[in-house]
């Protein structure tokens, strides 16, 4: 679901609202992230993997399918669902920063329900702050920055920087092969151009 395709189809507002739902509800984001990472799954498989009650699983699948971020692969029962890639860029209100929302960011948001450090960071710095921290985590994993540089740049304590870097490390490693020299990851945070 790239923003370019959305403009062509006239669905950019729908795409934005769909993604906003994912970013506001960690369990919904968790279901999307699971499908994005693990591939096609039935509702029963989602219930088992994510420990969701049956009613909740069906409600979440319906909501995500209605908004277009997942879809059934066929009409056979049980239906198998797949996630559509998310790549939506939005500009901050002041026009100086852009944020690209990707499956990795949605996954990071989803982990706040099981990771108190991510939840605390979102509470203090918002989703945009988490996107920025995710960008720094990618750079840190590649050896391009340190937690102290991140702390200075973001005006947070070195301890807070190290805590969020540690919390986001598994997310980054799920999406980017850091061991590969020059591995390119998606644009996740602010672009100061």
Q: Does 47 score more than 70 pLDDT?
A: yes
SS3 28: helix
**Angle (deg, nearest 10), helices 147-154 and 158-175:** 110
Residue-range domain boundaries for the chain: 3-83, 88-175
pTM of the shown model: 0.73
pLDDT tens digit sequence for 57-88: 999 999 888 888 888 988 788 889 998 887 77
Q: Does 2 score more than 80 pLDDT?
A: no
Looking at residue 3, its pLDDT comes to 36
Separation CA 98–CA 90 (nearest Å): 6
What CATH number belongs to 3-83? 1.10.10.10
Spatial CA neighbour of 89 closest among 19, 24, 171, 184: 19
105 phi-psi bin (left φ>0, alpha ψ -120 to 50, beta other): alpha
* Torsion sign over Cα 52, 56, 60, 62: positive
Burial of residue 7, with CB atoms counted within 10 A of its CB: 0-12 exposed, 13-18 middle, 19 or more buried: exposed
Looking at residue 76, its pLDDT comes to 82
């Amino acid at each position: 679901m790239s923003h370019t395709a959305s403009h062509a189809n006239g669905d950019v507002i729908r795409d934005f609202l769909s993604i906003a739902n994912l970013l506001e509800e960690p369990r919904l984001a968790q279901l999307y992230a699971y499908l994005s990472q693990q591939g096609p799954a039935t509702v029963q498989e989602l219930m088992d993997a994510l420990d969701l009650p049956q009613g909740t699983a069906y409600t979440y699948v319906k909501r995500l399918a209605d908004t277009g971020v997942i879809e059934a692969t066929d009409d056979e029962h049980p239906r198998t669902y797949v996630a559509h890639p998310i790549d939506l860029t939005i500009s901050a209100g002041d026009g100086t920063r852009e944020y690209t929302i990707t499956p990795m960011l949605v996954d990071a948001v989803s982990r706040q329900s099981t990771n108190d450090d991510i939840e605390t960071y979102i509470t203090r710095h918002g989703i945009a702050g988490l996107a920025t921290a995710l960008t720094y985590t990618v750079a840190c994993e590649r050896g391009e920055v340190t937690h102290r540089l991140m702390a200075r740049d973001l005006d947070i304590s070195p301890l807070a920087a190290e805590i969020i870097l540690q919390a986001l490390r598994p997310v980054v490693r799920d999406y980017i092969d850091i061991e590969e020299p020059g591995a390119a990851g998606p644009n996740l945070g602010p672009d100061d151009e």
